[in-house]
Amino acid sequence: MTKKSEIAIEKIEEGDIYNFKLNGKYFFLQILKIVTGLPAPYDIDFKFGYYLAVFQKTFKNIPKIEDLDLSTIYKHKYYRKNTACYFSVWNKEPHIQFDKKLMDYKLKDKYKFSKFDNRQVKKFSEFKPLLVPQFSMPSKCDFHNGIQNTHQPMSIQAILKGLEEEEKLKTSKAKKIDPHYFKDWLDYINPEALIKTEKAILKYEEKEGQQRTKENVLKKCIEAINKVDEKFSHIGTIEREYLVEKLIDISIAKELDEKLADNIIEENRDW
């Protein structure tokens, strides 16, 4: 019988969204599919299968549901290089649990999963990267645009350990960055996303020219930030407010009308 302290997630339904705090940030995952009734020899050890994905977008504080990005999957760049955080967790009992027979069992006392909400699961082709809806065992390894996008059978503690190691490597990279505009973002924003966002703003701030040139450069700045957010999904309500405020301040300093600058931002931003 499983100990209560070993159960990570229970009473699971498809579409359930859970959060957990790791590296000072709130991560979110969703239960994409629940599978039962596999044929022999998988019908005992793999009696209950929970397909889940961890999302790219993280938060310093608990966000509103509308600020979540339930499309962009967290991708390993360093630790499990070029793999999407798309997993199947299997068990003999109808819950996800920490297994004392496996490595990193002690993580059960470090991480807690909290039910956040339930939302309809997107089509697997709508995820970024798209995920393969292969709901059987053994799993098949496949890649899309250089990223492994098939489910990886893995224990919950192995998933957490992988995220820990990836975040350690990201943090070591982040320590080498000295943000010009948004230093606080280093605590929870992907370093590459921060660098590219700041680069777009700096280019706008440093560009000289007449009125029309300033308007065009601001528009190009917004479009560049759109592309970064499309890839990293790092801009939520708070980040949006800081970005707009910073761009307005720069526009005013460049003697661009505040209302005009605000209109350009609103008409062109995707975040």
Q: Which pLDDT score, from 0 to 100, does residue 187 have? A: 79
Encode burial over 88-108: b for 16+ CB neighbours within 10 A, e otherwise. Answer: bbbbeeebbbbbeeeebeebb
Mean pLDDT of 182-210: 89
Q: What count of other Cβ atoms lies within 10 Å of the Cβ of residue 7?
A: 18
* pLDDT tens string 59-73: 989 999 999 999 999
Render pLDDT for 120-150 as a digit per residue (tens, 0 to 9).
Answer: 999 999 999 999 999 999 999 999 989 999 9
- Residue ranges covered by each domain of the chain: 4-173, 183-268
Percent share of the chain, pLDDT over 70: 100
Cα distance between the two ends of the chain: 48
pLDDT at 211: 74
Mean pLDDT taken over the chain: 93
For the cut 90, the answer to whether the pLDDT of residue 157 exceeds it is yes
Euclidean distance between CA atoms 39 and 266, whole angstroms: 54
* pLDDT given at position 219: 96
Pairing verdict, β 25-36 and 48-54: antiparallel
Q: What is the pLDDT of residues 211-249, one digit of tens each?
A: 778 899 999 999 999 999 998 889 988 899 999 999 999
Mean pLDDT, residues 2-11 taken together: 94
14-24: pLDDT as tens digits:
999 999 999 99
